[in-house]
Amino acid sequence: MEEFDAACKYVRGIAGRLENNDLLYFYARYKQVTEGVCNTPKPSFYQLSEKSKWFAWTELGNLDKCVARDEYIEKLDILEPEWRGKEAQDPTAGWISVSCPRPEEQVPEQDKTIWDRVRDGDLDILKKILTVENVRCKDENGMSLLHWAADRGMTEVAELLISLDKTLINLQDDDGQTALHYATSCTHLEMVRFLLKVGADPSLQDTDGVTPCSLDSNPQIKEMFLQLNTV
């Protein structure tokens, strides 16, 4: 482990000049060695950096810690063949040293938008500001308020949104994904159950041809879809 620790310290020092793919490679294997199989929930869609790191770590599956350690060192040997013996730079540089996802940025109360209200599940305020006119608004990615609620697992917010406009149920974003895609991807069981109950279409495909329930979906979610098909 001594060589691995030295490699990690060196990588932290050069993180500022590494390609993003290399950073993700190192990050995933560092997490695999120090924590094992990915054990954190999937970050929300707007946490792009955290989501990339989560996917990189998750893709390693059950990779043995020793193998991950060796791959980490071998990768550094390729990028910096003469790293051994060199003085490491500032060990705090770069996000490679972060051991857990950063907390979401807090928005001051007076600056919160309708999107922030949905994200935070501010149901009482949403009841006051949501109308049949603004309930169908979309963000820059073509996502509706229901997409946001589904991503966060805010079932009560989703109920409110759909009570105002049922057409939101199967609305697709710019990637062709519905709220049901987001709910299943983030493993929000209650949200999935609710969306299926109110008529979410489980057969809708996104731009990659993927339906909400796939081979990688949570077993409990797969069972929900299976029961739907047998009714």
Which position has the higher pLDDT, 27 or 86?
Answer: 27
Confidence of residue 45 (pLDDT cuts 50, 70, 90): low
Mean pLDDT calculated for residue range 218-230: 83
Query: Looking at the predicted structure, is the pLDDT value of residue 231 above 50?
Result: no
Provide the token pair at 138: 């979309």
Query: What was the pLDDT predicted at 97?
Result: 42
Residue 121's region, left for phi above 0, alpha for psi from -120 to 50, else beta, is left
Asked if residue 188 lies in contact with residue 150, where contact means CB atoms within 8 angstroms, the answer is yes
pLDDT surpasses 90 at 186 = no
pLDDT band at residue 84 using 50, 70 and 90 as cut-offs: confident
Residue 103 in domain: no
CATH at 114: 1.25.40.20
Question: Measuring CA to CA, which residue among 134, 116, 190, 112 is closest to residue 158?
Answer: 190
**Domain interval for residue 17:** 2-97
Asked if residue 122 belongs to a domain, the reply is yes
C-alpha–C-alpha distance, residues 182 and 26, integer Å: 28
> Do 171 and 75 sit in the same domain of this protein?
no
64, 97, 130: which is the final residue of a domain? 97
Residues 143 and 175 in one domain: yes
Using a cut of 0.75, tell me whether the model's pTM lies above it.
no
Among 6-10, 43-47, 95-99, name the most confident range.
Answer: 6-10
Residue where one domain finishes, among candidates 97, 128, 152? 97
Q: Please, which residues have CB within 8 angstroms of residue 170's CB and are 6 or more apart in sequence?
A: 178, 199, 200, 201, 204
Say if residues 13 and 89 touch (Cβ distance below 8 Å): yes
- What is the rounded end-to-end Cα distance, in angstroms, of the chain? 55
* Most confident of the ranges 49-53, 200-204, 227-231: 200-204
* Residue 37: inside a domain: yes
The CATH number that applies at residue 40 is 1.20.80.10
Q: Is residue 134 helix, strand or coil?
A: coil
Q: Are residues 32 and 65 located together in one domain of the fold?
A: yes
Quick one: 127 and 67 in the same domain?
A: no
- Identify whether 121 is part of a domain: yes
Same domain, 174 and 198: yes
For residues 80 and 114, membership in a common domain is answered with no
What are the Cα distances from residue 160, in Å, to 75, 98, 139, 142? 50, 37, 19, 20
Domain ends where: 43, 62, 97?
A: 97
Which region holds residue 155: left if phi is over 0, alpha if psi is between -120 and 50, else beta? alpha
Cα–Cα distances (Å) from 71 to 100, 105, 117, 158, 224, in that order, read 21, 34, 43, 44, 39
Q: Give pLDDT, residue 218.
A: 81
The CA distance from 221 to 120, in Å, is 24
pLDDT band at 146 (very low <50, low <70, confident <90, very high): very high
Mean local confidence (pLDDT), 202-218: 86
Q: What is the pLDDT of residues 86-112, one digit of tens each?
A: 765 544 444 444 333 444 567 788 888
Higher pLDDT, 106 or 131: 131
Domain count, the chain: 2
Residue 188 has pLDDT above 50, yes or no: yes
The one-letter code for the residue type at 42 is K
Average the pLDDT over 64-75 and give the result: 95
Instruction: Based on the fold, state whether residues 74 and 123 are members of the same structural domain.
Output: no
pLDDT score recorded for residue 141 = 84
